[in-house]
Amino acid sequence: MHKFPFLKLFATLLLCGFVVKANAEVIAVIVPHNQTIHQIGSSELSLIFWRKKLYWADGKRIQTLNYASNNSIRIQFSLAILKSMPETQADYWNGLYFHGISPPYVVSSQEAMLRFVADSPGGIGYIDACKLDNRVKPIAWISAGRNLLSSAPELNCPE
């Protein structure tokens, strides 16, 4: 009988640790380091990720990137910017596909996101802000409370 409370406590701690680790405290919206855009608002970001805005002001085609629909950073981003869960977006993309508009490319990791955005003129994606490096430029931040910020917040990155 004494084993069950220990197992329950262990499972709870394990689950809590997973949830804390899976969610980014702050998400950085990123573009290639040499991209001319420096800031972006939530309505424009929404248009870009719904693929209703296809070109940057300088004429470059926008290349949007996402993670898989079950990725915790994608879920945070989708709720903050697209106001929906990734699973509910499938019907939207299926409808647009037959009109010649493809959904954003999907990458499998934050490193893949960094590389693809850095190497793709017109690229835009998002990562855990603690993963930022000089290959890309942040143009907006999404707080844990789902607010879009135009300046860098204080980050609590693990060492």
pLDDT in tens, 78-128: 999 999 999 999 889 888 888 888 899 999 999 999 999 999 999 999 999
Biggest CA–CA distance in the chain, Å, is 68
pLDDT digits (tens, 9 = 90+) for 68-87: 999 999 999 999 999 999 99
pLDDT over 90 percentage in the chain: 66
pLDDT of 147: 92
Q: To 10 degrees, the CA torsion angle through 104, 35, 155, 148?
A: -60
pTM: 0.82
pLDDT digits (tens, 9 = 90+) for 5-60: 443 433 333 333 333 334 578 999 999 999 988 889 999 999 999 999 999 999 99
For the record, the structure tokens of 92 come out as 């939207």
**In this predicted model, which residue has the larger pLDDT, 26 or 156?**
26
- What is the domain partition of the chain in residue ranges? 23-149
Amino acid at position 43, single letter: S
- Right CATH for 23-149 from 3.50.50.60, 3.40.190.10, 3.30.1540.10, 1.10.30.50: 3.40.190.10
